[in-house]
Amino acid sequence: MRVIIEKDYDLMSKRAAKIISAQIREKPDSVLGLVSGSTPIGTYKELIRMHIEEGLDFSRVTTFNLDEYYPIPSTHPQSYHYYMQKEFFKHININPDHIHIPNGLVKDIEAFCRWYEEAIKKAGGIDLQLLGIGRDGHIGFNEPGSSLGSRTRIKTIDAATIKDNARFFKKKEGIPKFAITMGVGTIMDAKCCLLLASGSDKSKVLTKAIEGPITAQVTASILQMHKDLLVIADEKASRDLKNKEYYQHIEKLTRELKTLIIDEKGSR
């Protein structure tokens, strides 16, 4: 696990976008796992800028989104289909056929979830999975108590999450109580996981997730077991980390090592 602490949300977003762009430049046909919500918006904006100003090419990229509300049409302003088009996809040159987001109106949910898992496998697996963290430590809609080996399925949304989401819906009765989500096991299959955390309201849960015990009550905590986990947090989100100074020390030395390697290659 590598933990990077940036001064603010903007720098966190730019750092995340730099890592994602490096993945795409190294492997143009990368398979990306994407997430919605407020946290990744800055990252998507920076990737859009890179596409427009630096020629970052998404034409061969394939994407799989973590989740979608159920039941909800893709045209609903609060659906994740709508969000992804508005915040990201319509601004880049991605092939629409390469975009995968759970169907919020599918009739046979179990069959669809099996298909989603198979589609990820057929694509070669997810190279880089972008993640946010909920106030209760969930990733995707894998709420507290979710199986740490779970696969894509329909989940009941926790009451606290429903309350958090209420501000986005005009009518209380219209707030979704269910979602189709990648499972924890599905997320853990990704070759690399990139977890973003911003704001003081995420500080305590981030500490539980990366420094506390691994538990189904904080599903993000399973990421401690991932072979290639990168956490990027801003100062506010990292304020409760017990090992904050250690992470900063390691990151400083990591940058020094990269410089030494580059200098050595250049001198040959």
pLDDT digits (tens, 9 = 90+) for 190-244: 999 999 999 999 999 999 999 999 999 999 999 999 999 999 999 999 999 999 9
136 is an active site residue: yes
Q: Which residue has the higher pLDDT, 169 or 266?
A: 169
Q: How far apart are CA 10 and CA 7, in angstroms?
A: 8
Token pair for 34: 């994407």
226 is an active site residue: no
Catalytic one of 10, 91, 98, 136: 136
138 is an active site residue: yes
Are 221 and 213 in contact by the 8 Å Cβ rule? The answer is: yes
The predicted pLDDT at position 260 comes to: 66
pLDDT digits (tens, 9 = 90+) for 89-121: 999 999 999 999 999 999 999 999 999 999 999
pTM: 0.94
DSSP assignment of 186-237 equals HHHTSSEEEEEE-SGGGHHHHHHHHHS--BTTBGGGGGGG-TTEEEEEETTT
Q: How far apart are CA 45 and CA 252, in angstroms?
A: 27
The predicted pLDDT at position 151 comes to: 98
The predicted pLDDT at position 161 comes to: 78
Per-residue pLDDT for 167 more than 90? Answer: no
Query: CATH assignment of 2-267?
Result: 3.40.50.1360
The domain limits of the chain are 2-267
Are 118 and 152 in contact by the 8 Å Cβ rule? The answer is: no
The predicted pLDDT at position 266 comes to: 56
pLDDT digits (tens, 9 = 90+) for 175-189: 889 999 999 999 999
* Residue 265's pLDDT band (cuts 50, 70, 90): low
pLDDT digits (tens, 9 = 90+) for 33-83: 999 999 999 999 999 999 999 999 999 999 999 999 999 999 999 999 999
Are 151 and 113 in contact by the 8 Å Cβ rule? The answer is: yes
Catalytic one of 46, 68, 127, 143: 143
Catalytic one of 6, 46, 67, 189: 67
The predicted pLDDT at position 217 comes to: 97
Q: How far apart are CA 212 and CA 108, in angstroms?
A: 38
Token pair for 39: 């946290």
Catalytic one of 51, 76, 100, 138: 138
67 is an active site residue: yes
Query: Residue holding tokens 């496998």?
Result: 121
